[in-house]
Every structure is written in structure tokens, then in C-alpha cells.
A and B are shown apart, each in its own frame.
Chain A
Amino acid sequence: MANTILVKNFLEDTGPIDLQIRLVAGSSGLDKEIRVGDINRPGLTLAGFYEFFAYDRIQIFGLGESAYLRQLSDTQKRHVLEKFFSYDVLCCVFTHNEEPDRQFVEFADQKGVPVFVTLKDTTKFTSSLVYLLNEAFAPTLTLHGTFIDVYGIGVLLIGKSGVGKSECALELVERGHRFIADDVVLVKRVDESILMGSGSPLLKHHMEIRGLGIINVKDIFGIRSVRDRKRVELVVVLEEWVQNKEYDRLGLEETTYPLLDMHVPSIMVPVRPGRNIPIIVETAALNQRLKKLGIFTARDLDQNIQENLKRENGNG
């Protein structure tokens, strides 16, 4: 999916973040594409310093910029705005509910530069905007798997078609865990250390179970059985049991699965008829929670045994 965001997207649904903005001028430029996730305070530029003018970023007019424009005479302001709008400015946002004056609106309309006014103060607006832009520009990956929240750990089940991911998810939902996505999982690196997983908006909470067809998990199991997004914290790779293959029996080593240049803790679970995979996934999630708290069972046990052996040796 291409990561493009248009200026007009600010006026649409922005999810949990409300920018509290309205458009006051330049509606003809609403289809402009935002290419960089940075912002610019144009104070220096308005005062006449045009070197390093990042006109292709979102321009934030705070109280300072508004006050500066207000104290200019009409002719001065015309000069300032003429120069400012001679650049291909992306869009402008006035914070603190400060309305731009008529002259500003005229220039913006003429040049097709969208101008917004927000009720928020500059710092709050900037942080909301940076959050939204970060989300929009975050590297994204679509992968084939099943994503479910098990005891508060976002568990991504990966494996070939038909290995039993969906059935496993169904059993986990039945046990009270929350379903996020099946088959199509969108993973976003929203921060250097955070991977966020969600489902495709089109397929929301639907799942295909062979023999049943397509079901809606939310309708069947109710609202408490689903959630929209969750951090990806554990990858469980389901694999058909291969005779004579060595599977991890100790869990001393921590294995990881590469996702968007990050290393997510992972385990490999061999599947064969009669094995109760959901309970293994549940236990893996709980074990992962313990590890997050610094409790590493396999290593602790190994250490105990080694100390014991040392003592025995000393006595003997």
C-alpha cells in the first residue's frame, strides 16, 4: 500500500487524534500530497530570512507569527505575503484559533494554498500532527498470518496455508482472547521500537474457516472478542511436524523473527494431529510476559542446576 497522505486527509477522519481544525482558504489545493513528515515555523521567513525556507512542509503559524503579521502595515504585509506565497507553499495552519486576515486569505486562495485554523495551542497541535504524520509515513508490511491478543501480548501466528492458524485463533477467541486479524495482517513500524499490527479495513474481523466459510468474529462472539490494533510482541511460527527435525526442547536461546528491520521474539511450534496448539500459544504468551518482567525460566532452572552440581562436587 502506498504511503501517501493528502492535505485534505486532515479534514477527514483522523482516528483517535482530533486536530480540531477547519479550512478557511485555499480549498483548490486540498489534493496536494504531503511528502515529508516534518513541519516548519515560518517566523524567520516572514521576517525576511529566506535561506533554508522549507516551503514544502506544513507551515505552523503560532501566536508569534500571527502577532508579527498583525503589527505590519498593509503595504508591508503585502510585500511579506507576496514573497512568502511566491514559493510553492504546501499548506498553513494557524493555531490558538487565530484567524488570518483578508489579505492572507486572498493570497492563499489565489495560489491554492490550503489554510487551516485550529483551536489547539501550538505545542499540542504540533505533537498531534507529528503523531499523525509518523503513523502515515511509518514503514508498512502486509503479511499472511493471524494476529490475536493473548493475555495482553500481541501474538502473530505465521505458517503455510492449511497449517491451522485460523482454527487456532478461533479456539483462542473461544477461550476469551481477542481477535485482531486473519490472513491479512498489516504491520507498521510506528516507532523505532514499536511494531503495530492491525487488520485490513476491508476485511475487518472476518475470518475464513475451511468447512464453515467466512464468519464475522465480532458478530458471533461479541465485541469483547475483538480489537482493532495491538503491538506485535511475539511471533509464533506454526510448522508441520517434520520427523527427525530437532525442535527446541530447552528454550535457553531466545529466537527472533525479522519484521521491518526489527527482531521480534519468536518461537517455532511443530504441529501434528492431536497437539493442542492454542494452549501452547497461551503458555508462550504468558512466558513472554514473564520474560518482559525479567524472569527467564529456562535460564533460571539451568543456573540452579549448575549451582547445585557445583555444590555437590564441592561436598564430594
Chain B
Amino acid sequence: MTEREVVVKSDAGVHARPAMMIVREAMKYSCEVKLIKEDVEADCKSIMSVLGLAIVSGSRLVIRASGEGEEKVVDAIVSMIENNFTIHEKPAEKN
């Protein structure tokens, strides 16, 4: 099991789009990934579950994963949150 704590700094908190980014990242791995805020656990692979945590700026989160690729997925999500969900957004491709 790998676990790391992170504080959300982005002003808007985790609304629909950042939630989708977290879920998309978690879905790349087969292991179980949880997002924990104040003892409430959310399944990182479910958008509704992540949105339901009502994560605002300043929320303290624990990301916990167990299984194959647990370290990688925790690192990826933590860095995504620390970077305010910016680096993972690819510029829209032009046709």
C-alpha cells in the first residue's frame, strides 16, 4: 500500500474537470485507488465519488493505492494536484 498526503491549492477546488483528470489518471492503473478527505473515502475511479467529496481549496487529501503500479499512480495524482491540474492538460489539437 502506498499513501501520500496533499493539500489542494487550486482556487476552484476539485470541480468536474479536475475530477475527471484524477479519474482518468487512476483508470490507467489496475490497482485500487482511494481518495480520502476527513475520513470519507472515495473511489478514485468514479467521477461521482470524487465530486461527492466536495474538495475545496485548502482541503487535505490522502491518496491511497494498493496493487500493481500503486507508487506510480499516487505520484501522478499528487503531482497533478500540486500543480493545480495544469501540466496534464494537453493543448487542444488543431485539425
Report A's interface with B, CB cutoff 8 A.
Answer: 1-2, 142, 144, 161-162, 182-184, 200, 202-203, 206-208, 214
Question: In the complex, A206→B51 CA distance in Å?
Answer: 11
Q: Smallest CB–CB gap between B57 and chain A, Å? A: 17
B2 at the interface (CB under 8 A from A): no
Closest 5 A/B residue pairs (Cβ) = A183-B48, A161-B45, A184-B52, A200-B52, A144-B43
A/B pair count, beta carbons within 8 Å:
42
Q: How many residues of B contact A (CB 8 A)?
A: 16
Residues of A within 8 A of B40 (CB): 1, 142
Residues of A within 8 A of B41 (CB): 142
**Contacts A144-B49, A184-B48, A214-B48 hold; do A202 and B54 have CB atoms under 8 A apart?**
yes
Chosen A-B contacts, 27 in total, with CB atoms closer than 8 Å, are: A1-B38, A1-B39, A1-B40, A2-B38, A142-B40, A142-B41, A144-B46, A144-B49, A161-B27, A161-B43, A161-B45, A161-B46, A162-B45, A182-B48, A183-B43, A183-B49, A183-B52, A184-B48, A184-B49, A184-B52, A200-B52, A202-B51, A202-B52, A203-B52, A206-B48, A208-B47, A214-B47
Residues of A within 8 A of B43 (CB): 144, 161, 183
Q: Which of B38-71 contact A (CB under 8 A)?
A: 38-43, 45-49, 51-52, 54
Contact A207 B38 (CB under 8 A): no
Residues of B within 8 A of A144 (CB): 42-43, 46, 49
